[in-house]
Structure 1
Amino acid sequence: MPGGRLTQQERQQIALGLADGLAYAEIARSLDRPTSTITREVMRNGGPTAYRADLAHRATEQRAHRRRQAAPRDAKAPAQADGRDSEAVREYEEAFTTVLMGAGTPRMMARVLACLYITDSGSLTAAELVQHLQVSPASISKAITFLEGQGLVRRERDERRRERYVVDNDVWYQAMVAGARSLGQVIETARQGVGILGSGTPAATRLENIARFLDFVNESTTRAAEQARDILYVKPETPSDATS
């Protein structure tokens, strides 16, 4: 499977595939590339409806030029203090951001969430996020407000009274429960429509079927989240655990 950056010709094929309504996986197979490469390429360059091959190629060249200017000459990406490959971490953070965007999270919110999740502490201040993502404090504030509203981030004060933004083990469970509550409102509203439109009419039957389907999915999802909640707190095995 070929590596390296996408060529302009490959980007043109991506644009043609999107215009034909092909899935990312189909486009990836035709180019012998990983699906994640195509997903990341499209999502960081306007999304499936706004992707333009020439603009994407130009934007990639500009980003590469900025990175070359920022990096010391003849220097490889140094390992981080924890021994991780900083370039590999950066690429993973970018891939994680792309996946979150593909799941419907706006770009800046996805960048903040990915940044928080890949830190061992799961906690950063606004200043740390601004420095890492190279964006304005206002962008961070807006992203945190959105993520907090979704139950994906919480705020706390550290010993220096600084506000920190935190992702912990329970946020995905809480987000799923919040999503279930929102879905419950859809179910209730659909059933209200049955009485208004007249039981047995095509429109009322459609709404009743929607309500029954969502009710089943909602109940199953909530039950599964409750049953699986403890998985979020499983600690990784240490080498001594594995050998004992």
Structure 2
Amino acid sequence: MSESGSPGWEDTLAWVERVATIFSADGIPPIAGRTLGWLMICDPPEQSAGQISTAIGASRASLTTNLRMLTTMELVSRRTRAGERTVYYRVDDDAWYKVVQRQIAGVASYVEVARDGMDLVGPDTPRAARVRESHRVLSWLVRVFADAPPPPSETEDRS
């Protein structure tokens, strides 16, 4: 931290790199993870590709590809300003909720596919054992999310 209590540039980049490392474990390229980390803490919250590129030390070509991926994943959105040609990027306010909802829907879809797989090879056969285990665990996860309360509001988080 700097003397003013706000993080210094090295602390900021270290945090951005930590975000990239966590997301790379899920197959997200490091540049996309760094971009996401940067957009989560940068000021102002909307940044041009040039600003992001400079901040995280990425080439514009690589950054463009990764911004497209983050936009497709609905973690980041593109914005324009009246009278400007520059495109700005930001993390959407509901990005994390949308990502989690999509992941839950994907797990629920797989549960159906696993059930069909067990029907295909017979639910009690040795061939179905691996499918049965994935079905058991992921069915549990879908039930957990179905019974979960909604995410807290921002005001609830602060209390």
Tell me the TM-score range normalised by the shorter chain: 0.7 to 0.9
> Aligned partners of 1:210, 1:83: CA distance in 2, in Å?
45
Q: Cα RMSD over matched residues?
A: 2.9
Contact (CA 8 Å) 1:122, 1:168: kept in 2 or not?
Answer: no
1:109 deviates by: 0.8
Structure 2 unmatched runs, 5+: none
Give 2:112's match in structure 1, choosing from 168, 174, 188: 188
Structure 1 unmatched runs, 5+: 1-77, 238-244
Corresponding residue for 1:99?
A: 22
Corresponding residue for 2:155?
A: 234
Corresponding residue for 2:138?
A: 214
Structure 2 matches for 1:1-244, cutoff 5 A? 84-159=7-82, 160-221=84-145, 223-224=147-148, 227-230=150-153, 233-234=154-155
Supply the AA of the counterpart residue of 2:17.
E
In structure 2, the CA distance between the partners of 1:212 and 1:113, relative to structure 1 (3 Å rule), is same
Instruction: Give the greater-gyration-radius structure (CA).
Output: 1
Supply the AA of the counterpart residue of 1:98.
T
Three-state SS of the structure 2 residue aligned to 1:199 is coil
> Aligned partners of 1:235, 1:114: CA distance in 2, in Å?
24
Supply the AA of the counterpart residue of 1:142.
T
TM-score by length of 1: 0.55
Structure with higher RCO (Cα < 8 A, 6+ apart): 2
> Aligned partners of 1:200, 1:83: CA distance in 2, in Å?
59
> Aligned partners of 2:157, 2:112: CA distance in 1, in Å?
42
> Aligned partners of 1:97, 1:228: CA distance in 2, in Å?
24
Identity of aligned residues (%): 24
In structure 2, the CA distance between the partners of 1:150 and 1:206, relative to structure 1 (3 Å rule), is same
Moved over 6 A (4+): none
1:103 deviates by: 4.8
Contact (CA 8 Å) 1:130, 1:137: kept in 2 or not?
Answer: yes
